[in-house]
Amino acid sequence: MSQAAAEGAGKGSIFVVDDDAAVRDSLAALLEAEGFAVEPFESARAFLDGFRPKEACCVIADIRMPDMDGLELQEEIIRRGWGLPVVIITGHGDVPLAVRAMKAGAVDFIEKPFDDEVLRAGIERGLAQSRRTRGESAAAQEAETRIAQLTAREREVMEHLVAGRPNKVIAHRMDISPRTVEVHRGRVMEKLQAHSLSDLVRMALAAKIEISAAT
C-alpha cells in the first residue's frame, strides 16, 4: 500500500479483483489519489485467500476472470457471510451478467471504459452499505452479549415484555407472583442496561429474537 493509500485508509478500503494488471494498476492509482486505501488481487481465489476484514470496505471485481468470475466471487462472499458490498466491472456485452449480479446483491456495475464520477458514486454506495452492515453487526453482537447474561427465567420475562404483555399476564403464564415478575424485570433492565421497554425491543430485534404478538 502506498503512503497516500495508508493516509487515506480512514476513508475506506477498496479491494480491486481483476486478472488484468493494467486495470488493477490504473484503478489503484485513481482510487489512491482519491484518498482510498487500495488492495489489488489478480484473481478471485487470491482475494478469498488474502482478505482481512476492514472497518469500511468495498470489492471491485471484473465480471470476466478465469477460474472464478466476478459473479461467482460475489456468490462465495455471500456464502461465507462476509457482508461485503461488491461493485462489478463489466464490458458492454456483459451487462446481462452484471444485472444478474445486482439482483443477487451487488451494489452497482460499472461499464468500461470507466467514468470517474460513476465509479466514485458506486464505491460510495458500497462503503455506505459496508458501514451500515458493520454497525448492525456490532449492535447485534453487543445485544447478544448482554442477553447472554440473563438467567433462563429472566430471558423468559424479557421475551414476554417485548411481546407487550403486562406483568399480571406474565405472572399468570409463568405461574409466579406479579412481585416476582417485577424483580425479574428490574434485573433484566439492569443487566441489559436498558432504560425503557423500547430499549429492550431494540436489543431483541438486534439479537434477532423472534417477538411474538401479545395474547
Same domain, 130 and 159: no
Same domain, 189 and 109: no
77 located within any domain: yes
| Residues in CB range of 157: below 8 A, 6 or more apart | 170, 174, 181, 184, 185, 188
Residues 69 and 46: their CA atoms lie apart, in Å, by 12
Highest mean pLDDT among 90-99, 134-143, 191-200: 191-200
Same domain, 28 and 81: yes
215 located within any domain: no
142 located within any domain: no
Same domain, 114 and 156: no
Same domain, 174 and 70: no
Residues 123 and 151: their CA atoms lie apart, in Å, by 45
Helix (H) or strand (E) holding 146: helix 116-147
Q: Report the CATH number that the domain containing residue 187 is assigned in CATH.
A: 1.10.10.10
For the chain, what percent of residues have pLDDT higher than 90?
A: 53
Provide mean pLDDT across the span 114-122: 88
Q: What is the pTM of this model?
A: 0.64
Domain that holds residue 177: 149-206
212 located within any domain: no
Same domain, 103 and 161: no
- Domain edge (last residue) among 137, 170, 195: 137
Residue 55, pLDDT above cutoff 90: no
pLDDT single digits (tens) 56-115? 899 999 999 999 999 999 999 999 988 899 999 988 778 788 888 888 889 988 888 888
Residues 166 and 214: their CA atoms lie apart, in Å, by 9
211 located within any domain: no
Q: What angle do CA 60, 65, 66 make, to 5 degrees?
A: 150
- Domain edge (last residue) among 87, 114, 137: 137
156 located within any domain: yes
Same domain, 114 and 199: no
Residues 54 and 34: their CA atoms lie apart, in Å, by 18
Residue 1, pLDDT above cutoff 80: no
pLDDT single digits (tens) 6-18? 444 568 899 999 9
Provide mean pLDDT across the span 179-197: 93
Number of domains in the chain: 2
100 located within any domain: yes
72 located within any domain: yes
